[in-house]
Amino acid sequence: MEVKLLGKTSMRGVVVIVLALLATASSASRFAPIGPSELEVYPSSGVSRIGMLSDYSPSLANTPGDTAVFVYDGAEPGGVMLVIGGAHADEPAGTVAALVIAENTHMAQGRLIVIPYANASAFTHNLPQEGHPSYYTLPTPDGERIMKYGSRLTNPVHQWPDPTVYAESVAQQRLAGGESRNLNRAYPGADHGSLTARVAHAITQLITEEGVDVSVDLHESSPEYPVNNAIVAHERAIDLAAVAAVQLELDGVQINIEPSPPALRGLSHREWGDNTNTMALLLESPNPAQGRLRGATNTELIVEGIDPMYLKASARGRLYVPYTEQGAPLAMRVGRHVSAVQAIAVAYSMMAPERGIVICGLPSYYDLLANGTGVYLKPSK
């Protein structure tokens, strides 16, 4: 029997192929999707029930878009407030603020509904070529809390292909095809549409079925974006936003009020207000990690918010927010959101005392600034 041995060149080829396969397998493991159960939330003892978003739209069940909904009831009846974070998974202050609220809230009056990971699919991937890390960590008294840093858009693995041009459903306004995966361009949604449209539909249904009086969508924007450190308010919620802004100003937290543009469709602050009875609001804080002017993109930038490029831009008057050597740390941005949610609840209770919304247990802006966010979160398991 004749046995032929591989030559040196052939052996090198085999070795290269094996190494390439190993490298591919190692890289692919980082892109393995995570499920809703892996998006950690440790609700406070004040939680009354935990459901799923698909409870309000069954077509969302058993999909990557389904996500947990936390309901907190007070001893006294009152109004109903919805707070959502994670509509854009690369805007961490929105998600972390929703988690701080979910993990510390005790209601004295009314009902609070919290959805920390509104677009669960968006937490399963990153935007290509942005250089964002997959995770960042927050120190807590009992260990680290590992936080997923995701994407502005639904994972294309879960919704594909993108149209060449996306026409949103209300006025058929034309946007880039990828915006079909943007939850905050998909409202009021569609029960049998794309995954993103079904998530939007379920949130709209929740607002209707739960009789939500006030709805707050937590977001971030780059420091060079003009709508920043702001409450964006539907016209029916302008007075509420104004009273809340006065509350914040008295506490030393400067905030702007921006009216929701009637011609800009598909956004929460517009479509929630137009399609339900809720008072629709959206909050923005400045996130250097998503800006176009940023330097090195890493976990330090996400958490500490210090970037020399933004310091230079600030010195040249290119930003719409104050930016100093202290940067825009996550604790400050989360503090703005949590204190704004509390101020909105207080303002609503002043305007409609028979339907008061009284939230207890939340840290103040200054608590978060002094102690950091991790003090108010549980560690990862």
What is the bridge-based pairing of β-strands 279-284 and 214-218? parallel
pLDDT for the residue 36: 46
pLDDT for the residue 9: 60
Please check whether residue 87 is in contact with residue 118, taking contact to mean a CB–CB distance below 8 angstroms: yes
Q: How far apart are CA 297 and CA 305, in angstroms?
A: 10
pLDDT for the residue 272: 99
pLDDT tens readout for residues 115-150: 999 999 999 999 878 999 999 999 999 999 999 999
Please check whether residue 179 is in contact with residue 166, taking contact to mean a CB–CB distance below 8 angstroms: yes
Q: How far apart are CA 15 and CA 5, in angstroms?
A: 15
Go through the domains of the chain in sequence order and give each one's CATH number: 45-376 (3.40.630)
pTM: 0.92
Q: Which residues contact 349 (CB under 8 A, 6 or more apart)?
A: 78, 79, 109, 356, 357, 358
What is the bridge-based pairing of β-strands 106-115 and 76-84? parallel
Q: Which residues contact 342 (CB under 8 A, 6 or more apart)?
A: 359, 362, 364
Q: How far apart are CA 353 and CA 351, in angstroms?
A: 6
- Asked whether residue 79 carries a pLDDT value surpassing 60, the answer given is yes
Q: DSSP secondary structure string, 145-197? A: EEEE---SS--TTTS-PPPSEEE-TTT--EEEGGGGG-GGGSTT--TTS-HHH
